Amino acid sequence: MPYESVLNRRGFLGLAAAGATAAVLPGCAGETASSTGGQPRSGGRLRAAFAGGGAAEVLDPHKTSLYVEIARAKALFDKLADYGSDMTPQPRLAERWEPSADLRTWRITLRQATFHDGRPVRARDVLASFARIVEPGSTFRAKSSLAVIDLANSRAIDDRTVEFRLKRPYAEFPNALATIGTAIIPEGTTNFDRPIGSGPFKFSSFAPGRSFVATRNPDYWDGTPYLDELEIVVTNDEAARVNALLGRQVEYAHDLTPTSARTHEQSGQLQVHRLPLSNFQGLAMKVDRPPFNRPELRQALFHLVDRDELVRSVFQGSGQLCNDLYGKGYRYYAGSLPQRNQDLDRARALVKQAGAEGMTIDFDTSEASTGLKEAALAISDQARKIGLNLNVKLGTKDTYWADIAKNGVLASYRSGGMPLESHISQRLLTTSTTNNTKWQRPGFDALYYQAQSTTDEARRAELYLQIQQQLFDEGGFLWWGVSDWIVASASNVNGISAQAPANTLDWARYDKVWLA
Amino acid sequence: MRVARRYAVPGVLVRRYAVPGMLVAVPVLLALVGPVIASDDTTKDVAFVLGGGHWFGTDFVGRDVWNEVLLGGRSLVVVAVVATVCTYLIAVPVGLVAGMTRNRLLDEAVMRPLDLLLAVPSMLMLLLLASVAPGIPWVLIGVVVLINLPDVVRISRAAALSVSARPAVEAMRLQGESRIRIGLGYVARAMRRTLAADLGTRFTGAIYLVASASFLGVGVSPQTSDWAAMVDRNRTGLFVQPWAVVLPALLIVMLSIGVNLAFDRWLRDRAMEGVAR
Amino acid sequence: MTLPSYVARRTLLGVIQVPLVMCGVFFLAEALPGDAAVTIAGDNPDPAIIAVLRERLGLNEPAWHRLGDWLAAALHGDFGQSLVGPRSVVDIIASAAGPTLLLAGLTLVLLIPLSVGLGVLAANREGSRLDRLITSTTLGLYSAPEFAMGLLIVTVFAVQLRWLPPTAVGTSLLSNPAVLVIPVFVLLLRPICSLSRLIRAGMIDAQRSEYVRHVRRIGLSPTRVRFAHALPNAVTPAIQQLARTIDWLVGGVIVIEAIFVVPGLGTTLVQAVAARDLPVIQGLAVVFATTTVLVNLAADVAARVLSPTAEAGR
């Protein structure tokens, strides 16, 4: 008997925190573009299909790493802040925040909100939640983002005021409060079999890898949700998600391919939403080892890549080209730099300068995320035109991110949206935990810390420009494009934001969704 | 006699084998000649378009489907044929020995280790080996052989067993014919219908194992083109651009049906010949 | 050897086989690149976090040590905890086994009469138009890629015509049996071909055998000859194939499970391998190996019963 596997684990959100559309859309949190309009009405049940992680899925909101886990955590819990559609952190459970002049002490005022069991959300719950995440020996995702907090010297001033003491000046501290996996849980929670949060829906039932049901929280501080009930079902097969939607077994399908979108958007049977600026795609070149320790060779690749061809063939038009820098359209993005285009002569000359003519270079890729392999194949074909042989090696998708962190010289890379500050601190500082390009330069680190130590907004913008100019000239990342995140819904579903990138506040925000 | 005379007429032979012959010839010729006439232009177009200067549209990364078809047959045909032939070369003699021997210990000594292999879930074996040693065609051939080996041994043993219990074999044995002569001369010949029925599907199965393996990342490197891998990789576009799936799938179906039909025809002719004699 | 002592001996062999398979699977799984700590870290491979996870999951222990612990616990019926989630291995496998067994059972109930019927029919009219029709149709279905067939059938009958639900997402299989129709149909396509071909071949051989010719000469009715004498001899090779099919239905229908969203054992296996969740892989291997040993034993016993002359010499 022949066997075939089709389980393409697309569930991982990738190196994502959040993101939004600063320049494009100066909106505010909570703005939702309803699709067919009309007066929102209450009632009904929404069934949403996501890719998932099977029997290993959990409801612990600090352990979230799959999109489906984040969507469930979002239904049940709140964070202090979340990324709004204008890219900056938007206050959520935090009503407002005020830094001290040295940017090392932050006073957070909490909103009046209650957990599902009626207890109020207090400052102590916030401190306990963060203590759980950063305690020694914990392995939570947000640990490195919250490590900047000096918890021993932070305190609850009263029930609704927290004062955080930081280990260093941090002008964009609210970014950390909006990071994935920083949900506020009631103090003392250890068991998440029947989780209690402060979110828009109350827990009802959960079968790992299959389904999750939650009911409306009528006392939600941000307005009562319209839906009576939310059900999230799991299937890793994209075709199955589309078929379930077409067969009216679900009303919302998350994460579709551009091909499916093209197939069904004309038929009028369903609505397709392309969430822009969601998924950055690029190459990671390791600058600490041959051959990419030669800046000329990195620049050769900058001039080699035909970004238009990649957007056309890999994204099938569902996305846009980038300028090798991360965070197009986000706050502090250096949009003023000239757009690079393919220049084969220049690339050839640079290869020659680097002494790399006719060189064979291993190019790691995998199916860990959609499009990685396709882009690698296309770039390898493009490289042949300048006499570089990029030998595409398909790695194991399950361990891909750890493999390329340590080994190899050139790898396919992707990232979800997150503020520029998070991108830099997680990947480009000497101390970064996932510094995949091995970009470790004290001078560069200093620029970042300067930017975080100044209260002067204009000065910070200028420092960000300097940082990005360095990366643009000789960095190890080559971000060639950013694709849309595609979700689809039945025609009677309203209130889905079409502008919110994946993982921002308005993505998978079911409290604002209503059924016509 | 009538049957035997029919063989004297080449025209009849051609007519009888025309259909399976065609079915086999088209994919095999494409597989062998294709890489020579394929273009090495690698420009990418939009993924999954129909037309637009491409006979059969483009595939999942915007490559020309016809060009991929030209390039993608050789590896598939070679791996599937080599793997199937290897399986049978090893399995049939082993099954024959185990089925014909009167020594129970020998039978057990041959069959029980194979049972062990059989008990390793094949999907698990493919998944594990695919991840341990990716990218090498010989590993893939080895895995396909390992997965099929216990099956074919068991089937040939079962067939040999039932044949060797026939009175004819008993009689031969009493007449002092040697084991080898009985085995090769009678039992193996009598088993061939069962084996041929199995071989055709086994060959098809090998092709699809290659497909699943390519999906799991073993055997077929992402840069090489391969019909079986095409079927899998292009399936997302099945309803926008069916050719990228249908064309390679059609070639595989042709090859598979052709091989099976040819075996059936050949068997029937041999059988009739036998009766006529 | 009598049948009971044969069964006893084979069972004993199976009891040795299963742990041996376990050890093989364990070392193969050990040889996989990466481990559970790496897959939990996923796209955020912070070395410090991976080190902590490795320590916590006991992955720093030598492999033979972990295998020994696992085997000792398994002997007492304790199959351990999943490395990546909070559930026990038994719990995970038990909840995945239901859907798989239901699908497999239904498929078998339909498969056996259908393939025997088609095989016998084709064999009786060997060389006729009917024979050719049956042979080439089943072959064509066998050669067509099963996920393409699956998608096509879903699109036509579930999405376009809306006769049947396209997937089993969010429903239990038993409460809504309509969701089973398409998966079972697609599951049947390939085994029907391989089985009916073997039965046809065996039938033709058997009807030509001296034994059946003899029975025919005695003057028994053709139907009786066919089903009481020729068929039992003809199905011996097919029974082996049936055993393999059952094996496949229990552990290998990953494509069908994925397309129709059936959270069964195949899906669980793929997820466990992807997560390097060794205890779950081991637990599944126990289930699969035991199934294999049992169905093969059953197949061999059935072969002895149906065709007693063949095994008489043993």
- pLDDT at position C110 is 95
Contacts of C112 (CB under 8 A, 6+ apart): C242
Q: Kindly give the interhelix angle for C3-30 and B104-119, rounded to the nearest 10 degrees.
A: 40
A399 touches chain B (CB under 8 A): no
Question: Would you say residue A98 lies in a domain?
Answer: yes
Quick one: pLDDT band at residue A465, thresholds 50, 70, 90?
A: very high
Distance CA A412, CA B244 (A): 25
Asked whether residue A376 carries a pLDDT value surpassing 90, the answer given is yes
Distance CA C135, CA C139 (A): 6
Question: Would you say residue A5 lies in a domain?
Answer: no
Residue A286 structure tokens: 């390791």
Which residue, among B236, B253, B256, would best test binding to A if mutated, counting the most A CBs under 10 Å from its CB? B236
Closest to C200 measured CA to CA, from C106, C274, C269, C132:
C132
Quick one: pLDDT band at residue A446, thresholds 50, 70, 90?
A: very high
Average pLDDT, chain C: 84
Residue with tokens 């694709």: A483
- pLDDT at position A327 is 92
Would you call C274 and A250 a contact, using CB atoms and an 8 Å cutoff? no
Q: Give the residue-averaged pLDDT of B40-58.
A: 76
Subunits with 3+ Cβ pairs within 8 Å of B are A, C
Q: Give the residue-averaged pLDDT of A184-195.
A: 94
Domain assignment of residue A107, given as a range: 78-178
The answer to whether the peptide bond before residue A291 is cis (omega within 30 degrees of 0) is yes
* Cβ-contact A97, A108 below 8 angstroms: yes
Q: Give the residue-averaged pLDDT of C181-192.
A: 89
Question: Would you say residue A9 lies in a domain?
Answer: no
Output phi, psi for C248, to 5 deg. Answer: -65, -45
* Cβ-contact C277, C82 below 8 angstroms: yes
- pLDDT at position B118 is 76
Residue A350 structure tokens: 């640079």
Cα–chain center distance at A214: 24
The total domain count for chain A is 3
- pLDDT at position A2 is 32
More confident residue, A334 or C168: A334
Which residues are A114's β-sheet partners?
A120
Would you call C50 and A7 a contact, using CB atoms and an 8 Å cutoff? no
Question: Would you say residue A82 lies in a domain?
Answer: yes
Q: Where are the beta strands (DSSP E) in A159-308?
A: 161-165, 201-207, 211-216, 229-234, 252-253, 270-285
Question: Would you say residue A372 lies in a domain?
Answer: yes
In chain C, the percentage of residues whose pLDDT exceeds 90 is: 14
* Cβ-contact A292, A286 below 8 angstroms: yes
Domains of chain B: residue spans and CATH? 2-276 (1.10.3720.10)
Q: Are residues A392 and A304 in the same domain?
A: yes
Q: Which of A178, A210, A227 is the endpoint of a domain?
A: A178
Q: Give the residue-averaged pLDDT of A490-500.
A: 91
- pLDDT at position B211 is 64
Quick one: pLDDT band at residue C44, thresholds 50, 70, 90?
A: confident
pLDDT, tens only, A167-180: 999 999 999 999 99
More confident residue, C106 or C211: C106
Residue C248 structure tokens: 């496949």
- pLDDT at position B275 is 46
Q: How far is C178 from chain A (nearest CA, A)?
A: 13
DSSP letters along B73-129, please? HHHHHHHHHHHHHHHHHHHHHHHHHHHH-S-HHHHHHHHHHHHHHHHS-HHHHHHHH
From the CB of residue A491, how many other CB atoms can be counted at a distance below 10 Å? Answer: 13
More confident residue, C193 or A505: A505
Quick one: pLDDT band at residue A36, thresholds 50, 70, 90?
A: low
Q: Are residues A121 and A235 in the same domain?
A: no
Quick one: pLDDT band at residue C314, thresholds 50, 70, 90?
A: very low
Would you call A5 and B134 a contact, using CB atoms and an 8 Å cutoff? no
Residue C88 structure tokens: 């026990």
Average pLDDT, chain A: 89
Q: How far is B47 from chain C (nearest CA, A)?
A: 19
- pLDDT at position B221 is 62
Q: Are residues A323 and A282 in the same domain?
A: yes
Using only C-alpha atoms, chain A has a radius of gyration, in whole angstroms, of: 23
Number of alpha carbons in the 13 Å side-chain half-sphere of residue A300: 28
Distance CA A504, CA A175 (A): 12
Q: Give the residue-averaged pLDDT of C62-85.
A: 88
Q: Where are the alpha helices (DSSP H) in A178-294?
A: 238-246, 258-265
More confident residue, C22 or A362: A362
Residue of C nearest to B192 (CA): C201
**Using the 8-state DSSP alphabet, how is residue C163 labeled?**
S
The interface residues of chain B toward chain A in range 44-103, judged by CB-CB distance below 8 A, are 44-48, 60-62
Q: How far is B201 from chain A (nearest CA, A)?
A: 9
Q: CA angle, A323 as apex, A320 and A328 as ends, to 5°? A: 65
- pLDDT at position B132 is 67
Distance CA A289, CA A286 (A): 6
CATH number of the domain to which A243 belongs: 3.40.190.10
pLDDT, tens only, A86-138: 678 999 999 999 999 999 999 999 999 999 999 999 999 999 999 999 998 88
Distance CA C218, CA B120 (A): 47
Q: Give the residue-averaged pLDDT of A402-429.
A: 93
Would you call A381 and B215 a contact, using CB atoms and an 8 Å cutoff? no
Distance CA C94, CA C88 (A): 10
Contacts of A10 (CB under 8 A, 6+ apart): A51, A236, A238, A255, A369, A370
Question: How far are the Cα atoms of A342, B222, C194 from residue A382, in angstroms, in the given order?
Answer: 10, 16, 46
Q: Are residues A208 and A124 in the same domain?
A: no
Q: How many CB pairs under 8 A join A and B?
A: 98
Using a CB-CB distance cutoff of 8 angstroms, which residues of chain B are in contact with residue C152?
238
Distance CA A255, CA A269 (A): 18
Using a CB-CB distance cutoff of 8 angstroms, which residues of chain A are in contact with residue C270?
5, 7
Q: Give the residue-averaged pLDDT of A193-199.
A: 95
Closest to A301 measured CA to CA, from A344, A239, A271, A362:
A344
- pLDDT at position A344 is 95
Asked whether residue A10 carries a pLDDT value surpassing 50, the answer given is no
Q: Kindly give the interhelix angle for A457-474 and A442-453, rounded to the nearest 10 degrees.
A: 160
Q: Are residues A316 and A392 in the same domain?
A: yes
* Cβ-contact A109, A161 below 8 angstroms: yes
- pLDDT at position A427 is 94
* Of B109-123, C46-60, C189-203, the least confident: B109-123
Asked whether residue B218 carries a pLDDT value surpassing 60, the answer given is no
- pLDDT at position A20 is 32
- pLDDT at position C259 is 79
Residue with tokens 């006769």: C163
Would you call C197 and B235 a contact, using CB atoms and an 8 Å cutoff? no
Distance CA A282, CA A483 (A): 11
Asked whether residue B184 carries a pLDDT value surpassing 90, the answer given is no
Q: Are residues A331 and A409 in the same domain?
A: yes
Of B134, B205, B240, the CB nearest to A394: B134
Using a CB-CB distance cutoff of 8 angstroms, which residues of chain B are in contact with residue A2?
204-209, 211-212
Distance CA C182, CA C159 (A): 12
Q: Where are the beta strands (DSSP E) in A226-335?
A: 229-234, 252-253, 270-285, 319-324
Residue A489 structure tokens: 């819904």
Q: Are residues A225 and A161 in the same domain?
A: no
Q: Are residues A397 and A464 in the same domain?
A: yes
Average pLDDT, chain B: 77
Would you call B127 and C270 a contact, using CB atoms and an 8 Å cutoff? yes
DSSP letters along A23-89, please? TT----TT----SS-S------EEEEEE---GGG----GGG--BHHHHHHHHHH---SEEE-TTSSE
From the CB of residue B156, how many other CB atoms can be counted at a distance below 10 Å? Answer: 28
CATH number of the domain to which A84 belongs: 3.90.76.10
Subunits with 3+ Cβ pairs within 8 Å of C are A, B
Would you call A246 and C258 a contact, using CB atoms and an 8 Å cutoff? no
Closest to A478 measured CA to CA, from A257, A292, A250:
A292
Identify the helix (H) or strand (E) that includes residue B151. helix B137-164
Question: Would you say residue A153 lies in a domain?
Answer: yes
CB crowding A107-140: b at 16 or more within 10 Å, else e: ebbbbebebbeeeebbbebbbbbbbbbbeeeebb
Quick one: pLDDT band at residue A9, thresholds 50, 70, 90?
A: very low
The CATH label, of 3.40.50.720, 3.30.420.590, 3.30.1310.10, 1.10.3720.10, for the domain at C89-277 is: 1.10.3720.10
pLDDT, tens only, A260-301: 888 888 777 889 999 999 999 999 999 999 999 999 999 999
Contacts of B189 (CB under 8 A, 6+ apart): none
Closest to B269 measured CA to CA, from B208, B193, B201:
B193
* Of A17-31, A90-104, A135-149, A482-496, the least confident: A17-31
- pLDDT at position B99 is 80
Asked whether residue C171 carries a pLDDT value surpassing 80, the answer given is no
The question of ipTM being above 0.90 is answered as no
In chain B, the percentage of residues whose pLDDT exceeds 70 is: 82
- pLDDT at position B135 is 59
- pLDDT at position A128 is 97
Strand duo A252-253 + A45-50: pairing: parallel
Whole-model pTM? 0.84
- pLDDT at position A37 is 60
Q: Are residues A302 and A256 in the same domain?
A: no
Asked whether residue A189 carries a pLDDT value surpassing 80, the answer given is yes
Closest to C181 measured CA to CA, from C237, C262, C116:
C262
Q: Kindly give the interhelix angle for B65-100 and B137-164, rounded to the nearest 10 degrees.
A: 40
* Of A240-244, B139-143, C57-61, C99-103, the least confident: B139-143
Quick one: pLDDT band at residue A6, thresholds 50, 70, 90?
A: very low
Asked whether residue C254 carries a pLDDT value surpassing 60, the answer given is yes
Q: Where are the alpha helices (DSSP H) in A440-503?
A: 442-453, 457-474
